[in-house]
Chain A
C-alpha cells in the first residue's frame, strides 16, 4: 500500500534522508524510532508533500501511484494522512467548519453541516475532548495534549488508508497515552496501516508493532520486531551510532 524504495529526501539542496526502504500494508503498525534530528519528521513531511522536503531519489508509491508527482492535497485525498506535531493555529475558523470543508473536498455529494457537527462532537469525545470542541477556532489556544487529541479526532473523521503519526504521544500524560494506544489498536483493526514515529518505547507496551525501524542520521540503522524497541529502552540509541 505504502511502498518506499531507496528513498532520498533533500532539504535546501542538502540530502538529509538516505536510502529508506519500507512497505506498509493495511492493519500493519510500523514504528520508527531514532534520536532527535535523525530525520524522522523530515520523512513524514516529505511523504505529506511539504514543498521544502523534496524526494530526490528512489520511489515513494501509495496505492500504486508515484506520490512524488502529487500535491499534498492530492495525497491526502487518496488516503494518506500525516499527523502534525505542531499544527498551526487557524484563527477565525471553527474546527467543525474546517472538517466540513475537508470532508466536502473528498465527496461529490453535499454534506450537511449539521451531520458534520455531530460527527465532530462524537469524535472529540472519543479522544477525551469536550463535545463542544467543534466550535473552537482550529488549534487556537489548544494545549499540547488537546492538539494531539484533536489531530487524532480529525483522522478518525476524515478517514485514511495509511497514517503517519509523528509523535502523537508527546506531551500526553499516562492516561492520554493509554487512550491513544487503545485508539491506535482500534484504527489498526479498522484496517488502517500506521507508521508510528516515537521517542518513547514505553508506548509500545500498549500496542504490539509489526515492525520497528531505527533511524540514525537519516538512514535506517536496523529494522526488527518489538525486541528491538526493548533493546532501545534499555541501551538507548548509542549502540546504533556510527563509531568515530
Chain B
C-alpha cells in the first residue's frame, strides 16, 4: 500500500447530516428544546435548568491545565444522529482504514467505529448476552431510555454523587447531557463478562456530554468498559462526561476506559464512585488522545473496610496535555486506597499527575498509597506531580512515592544493538514502563493499546 498516513493518524470524520441541531448554542431555550426532544420527565428538565444557571455562575478551574482555548459559544450542545445511517464504508478516508488495519480491528467493529454502522455487528452475540443479563435482572441500556423506563433510580442517584455545582463542567454536563450508559446489577449477581459500551447497539454513546450511572447492589460485581482504544473522531471540541457509580456493601465494580479522542478535543470528565462497607471500586483510566484532558476518577470510601483503586495511564505527545490522576476520600474506618499513575510524555507533550488523598477524622486506621511514575522521552517534553494529602487522623497510614525517569540511552542502545529499529526500541521501553497498568486490562485491550503506543512512537521518531 503506498498510502502515507496523515499527521494525525487516529482521527477521522465522516460527514454528518444531523437532523436536529440547536441553533442557539448554550441557551436556556436550547436546554428546553433538548429536554423536549428527549421526551423527558419534568423533574429532569428542572435539574437541567438549575444546572444551566450554575454553569454560568461557576468560574473556570484555574488550577489545572490551560483551558483558555475553549470557546463556549462554538459548542454544539445537542446533535441527534440522523434516523437513517447514510454513511458508507467507501466514504471513510483511507487514513482511517489504514489505522484500523494497523490496529487489527475486526471488520465489523471498524464499520461501527467509523460511524458507518450504528450497531456493532455482533448483534447475535449481543442478543445472547442480553438474554442472560435480563434473566439475572441486570439492566444495561443507554441513559436516555433509562430515564424514561427506570426513573426511580435517577430520582435517587442522578447528580447525587456529582452535583451540578461540583464544577463548571459537571454543571454543563447536567444541563446538556445526552447519551451514556445506565447499568444496574441486582443484589448478589456477578456479571462474568465485561459489559462493553459498544454492545449497547446505539451510536449515541459517543455523545459530547455523556452521562453514565452504575449501581451495584450488595454483593454484586461487574466490569464495565467504556469506549475503546480505537480512534474516535469527534466534531466536538469539548467533551465533558459525568460518571456516577454506587458500589454497595460487599459489591465490586471495575470501570475501564481507554480514551483516544483526536488531538483537538478538550476532554474534561468528572468520575466519582461511592463505596459502601467492604465494597470495592477499581478505576482503570487510560488517556492517549485529546488536546487537553483533565480527569481524576474518585473514590469516596464511605463504609468500613471499603477499598478503592485507581490506575491512571497517560501518554502525551505533541501539543497534548494530560492532566490526570485520582482522588481517594476516606470517610470510614479501615478503608484503603491505592492510586497508581503511569505517564509518558514525548515530542513536546506534557503529563501531570494531580491527586488528592483525604482522610476524615472518623476514618481510623485508613491506609493509602500513591505511586506515580513518569517517563519522559525527550528534552522537549515535560512531567509534573501535584499530590495533595489532607489528614488529621493519627492512625492513618499514608504513603506517596514518585519517580521521574528519562528515556535511558543505554536501554535504547542495547535494543538497537539487538537489531530493533529506533521506533520499536522506544515503544518497547514505553510498553515495558506501562506494563504494570496494561496487564490489568482485558487482553484484547492490552494488545490494541500496545499497538497504539507503537503507532504514536513511530510518529514521535519520524
Contact = CB atoms under 8 A, between A and B. Distances in A.
B123 interface: no
A75 B417 CA distance: 8
B419 A76 contact: yes
Interface stretch (A14-22, A58-66, A83-91, A170-178): A83-91
B428 A84 contact: no
Interface in B396-426: 408-411, 413-422, 424-425
B434 interface: yes
B194 interface: no
A77 B408 CA distance: 22
Interface in B413-459: 413-422, 424-425, 428-429, 431-436
- Interface residue tally on A, bucketed by range: 20 to 34
Contacts, number: 72
Interface string A151-184: 0001000100000000000000000000000000
Given A91-B433, A92-B433, A72 B417 contact: yes
Contact of B417 (A49, A92, A106): A49
A238 B421 CA distance: 43
Contacts of A48: 413, 417
A76 B431 contact: no
B379 to A, nearest CB: 16
A77 B434 CA distance: 27
Contacts of A73: 416-417, 419-422, 425
Contact of A76 (B408, B409, B417, B436): B417
A71 interface: yes
A101 interface: yes
Contacts of B428: 90, 93, 98, 101
A102 interface: yes
A88 B416 CA distance: 12
B416 A76 contact: yes
Dominant secondary structure at the B interface: helix
Contacts of B411: 88, 90
B108 to A, nearest CB: 23
Q: Which residue of B411, B415, B424 has the most chain A CB atoms within 10 A of its CB atom? A: B415
A222 to B, nearest CB: 30
A102 B431 CA distance: 15
Contacts of A82: 417
Contacts of A76: 416-419
Nearest to A137: B432
A182 B307 CA distance: 56
Interface string A41-71: 0000000111100000000000000000001
Given A92-B433, A93-B435, A105 B421 contact: yes
Contacts of B435: 91-93
Contact of B424 (A84, A91, A101, A154): A101
B424 A105 contact: yes
Nearest to A80: B417
Nearest to A78: B419
Closest 10 CB pairs of A and B: A92-B432, A92-B435, A76-B419, A93-B432, A72-B416, A73-B416, A88-B410, A77-B419, A102-B418, A105-B419
Interface of A: 48-51, 71-73, 75-77, 82, 84, 87-88, 90-93, 98, 101-102, 105-106, 137, 154, 158
Given A76-B417, A87-B414, 11 more contacts: A73-B421, A76-B416, A76-B419, A82-B417, A92-B435, A93-B431, A98-B418, A101-B424, A105-B419, A106-B419, A158-B418
